[in-house]
Amino acid sequence: MKGDKRVVIVICDSLRADLIGPAHTPFLVELAERGTAFAAHRSVFPSTTRASSASIATGCLPARHGLYGNTQALDEGDGLVCRNVGAPDFRDRMRRATGRTLRVPTLAERLRRHGEDAIVCSNVSPGAAYFQDPDGYGWMYHVAGSYAPGLKPIDDPASASLKKGIAGDNAMTDRFCAEIVEERAPALALMWLSEPDYTGHHSPLGSPQHLEAITAADANVRRVFETVRRLDPSGENILFITGSDHGMETISEAVDITELLVATGIKAAADSHDVVVAPNGTAATIYFADSARNKIAATADFLARENWAGGVFAGERLAQIGLPTDTSLQVAVTMAADDRVNPHGVRGYCPIVADANDTESKLGFGQHGGLGVNEQHPFLIAANGGFTARKETRPTSLIDIAPSVLRHMHMDHDDMDGHELPLSA
Ligand SMILES: [Zn+2]
């Protein structure tokens, strides 16, 4: 690259800050002592990987970037339909329905304006990967399809064979360290691990399998940091950031909000286009056709009376949780989390919103999406690039990462929702 200032980011999907400790994440404990550990770091709403990915990429809340969760209702001409943002074709659907993908530039786009490269390697869903750079300003490596700048499809056998889980993450890390960080040395190199999210969704939090996935993620962060340290022994040039996008809660029960809205008469039928529920794990967003806007108050009142609902936001109140107030999304609900402890000693249970497209029972396993204390407790550590060794207790958010990346590269970043992470106390 032209400048000597670079940034390397590693995301450990779903790793809760309180699960970091010497027994299972020895490297993250060590790194937190070398760099700045952000103790009051928060996710966005919904605390889903895809909305979080767009917030990390843009430095903006969902209200401004326009991606409202892991599922989102779109009107592609036949009325509102809930779509899976994770599907490889979602960004094309979004472009057809709204004329664009994200409504604000990503880091990849901003770097391209300066003639710099961003390279993303991701082992999570296509949607979460592609919303790092949906319009293809940089390089994207993913099992569902890899792209060169200009969204030019490239044949990339190393990505095409990746599977979610520890082995896939390990293989991606090998390639990321050797080829991306060391050889190609782009201005921004970002790697998104599938663990411990993948195992957390399929086993109890704190179980031996989940702890093994956490330890594997820790080891992969160590390998990337050691590569960075070898390339930049002074620590002045390559800013290293590692963190997670959200945490998890243990699932206590599933609630079918669509079915309940039909039963109360608010929604015409399970597949009707008037009132459309977008399940987002431990939260839901609810969209209203123009002809059904008279149902907004009744929907919010119905949800507020249910004991499984933790918080209901409608109309102007959506702004309080970083959602827009001027779209068909008019009601959001976060489910009622509680602080019971699971059989493996991990705190926090929460109901999930049933999803007709994902009916496999995950009771007792991890999930996220809402405003629960634990799902809203991702970790964040910044090392090198002027970050001093200390614990920062002032609140920070996913949206503060992008402005900090651009500050390090001496590029403008005053038009984002987020703020620079403080370099010193
Ligand atoms: Zn995630």
pLDDT for residue 357: 87
Distance CA 129, CA 137 (A): 14
Q: Which of 124, 234, 117, 236 is nearest to 183 (CA)?
A: 117
CB atoms within 10 A of CB 319: 13
Distance from the alpha carbon of residue 132 to the mean position of ligand 1, in angstroms? 13
53 touches 263 (CB < 8 A): no
Distance CA 381, CA 392 (A): 10
CB atoms within 10 A of CB 324: 17
Distance CA 7, CA 406 (A): 9
pLDDT for residue 359: 83
Distance from the alpha carbon of residue 246 to the mean position of ligand 1, in angstroms? 6
Distance from the alpha carbon of residue 15 to the mean position of ligand 1, in angstroms? 9
**Residues paired with residue 16 on neighbouring β-strands, in sequence order:** 378
Chain centre to alpha carbon of residue 152 = 25
Distance from the alpha carbon of residue 263 to the mean position of ligand 1, in angstroms? 32
Distance from the alpha carbon of residue 3 to the mean position of ligand 1, in angstroms? 32
Q: Which tokens sit at 414?
A: 């005053």
Distance from the alpha carbon of residue 60 to the mean position of ligand 1, in angstroms? 17
With 0-12 / 13-18 / 19 or more C-beta atoms within 10 angstroms meaning exposed / middle / buried, residue 21 is: exposed
Distance from the alpha carbon of residue 292 to the mean position of ligand 1, in angstroms? 32
Find the DSSP H helices in 41-188: 49-58, 62-65, 90-98, 107-113, 126-130, 157-160, 166-175
Distance CA 11, CA 55 (A): 13
Q: Show pLDDT as tens, one digit a residue, over the chain (425 residues).
A: 456 899 999 999 999 999 999 999 999 999 999 999 999 999 999 999 999 999 999 999 999 999 999 999 999 999 999 999 999 999 999 999 999 999 999 999 999 999 999 999 999 999 999 999 999 999 999 999 999 999 999 999 999 999 999 999 999 999 999 999 999 999 999 999 999 999 999 999 999 999 999 999 999 999 999 999 999 999 999 999 999 999 999 999 999 999 999 999 999 999 999 999 999 999 999 999 999 999 999 999 999 999 999 999 999 999 999 999 999 999 999 999 999 999 999 999 999 999 998 888 889 999 999 999 999 999 999 999 999 999 999 999 999 999 999 999 999 999 999 999 999 88
Distance from the alpha carbon of residue 197 to the mean position of ligand 1, in angstroms? 6
Q: Which of 34, 26, 100 is nearest to 67 (CA)?
A: 100
pLDDT for residue 1: 47
Distance from the alpha carbon of residue 141 to the mean position of ligand 1, in angstroms? 18
Residue 169 backbone dihedrals phi, psi, to 5 degrees: -60, -40
Distance from the alpha carbon of residue 394 to the mean position of ligand 1, in angstroms? 23
Q: Is 264 left (phi over 0), alpha (psi -120 to 50) or beta?
A: alpha
Residue with tokens 């609630």, as numbered in its chain: 255
- The model's pTM is 0.97
Residues with Cβ within 8 Å of residue 3, at least 6 apart in sequence? 116, 187, 409, 410
pLDDT for residue 312: 98
Residues with Cβ within 8 Å of residue 386, at least 6 apart in sequence? 236, 239, 408, 423
Q: Which of 71, 60, 58 is nearest to 329 (CA)?
A: 71
Distance from the alpha carbon of residue 364 to the mean position of ligand 1, in angstroms? 18
Distance from the alpha carbon of residue 67 to the mean position of ligand 1, in angstroms? 14
Distance from the alpha carbon of residue 384 to the mean position of ligand 1, in angstroms? 25
Distance from the alpha carbon of residue 9 to the mean position of ligand 1, in angstroms? 15
Distance from the alpha carbon of residue 14 to the mean position of ligand 1, in angstroms? 5
Distance from the alpha carbon of residue 374 to the mean position of ligand 1, in angstroms? 13
Distance CA 360, CA 354 (A): 10
Distance from the alpha carbon of residue 194 to the mean position of ligand 1, in angstroms? 8
Distance from the alpha carbon of residue 322 to the mean position of ligand 1, in angstroms? 18
Q: Which of 246, 220, 91 is nearest to 166 (CA)?
A: 220
Distance from the alpha carbon of residue 148 to the mean position of ligand 1, in angstroms? 24
Burial pattern 77-99, b for ≥16 Cβ within 10 A else e, equals: eeebbbbbbbeeebbebbeebee
Distance from the alpha carbon of residue 69 to the mean position of ligand 1, in angstroms? 11
Distance from the alpha carbon of residue 48 to the mean position of ligand 1, in angstroms? 6
DSSP letters for 206-227: TSHHHHHHHHHHHHHHHHHHHH
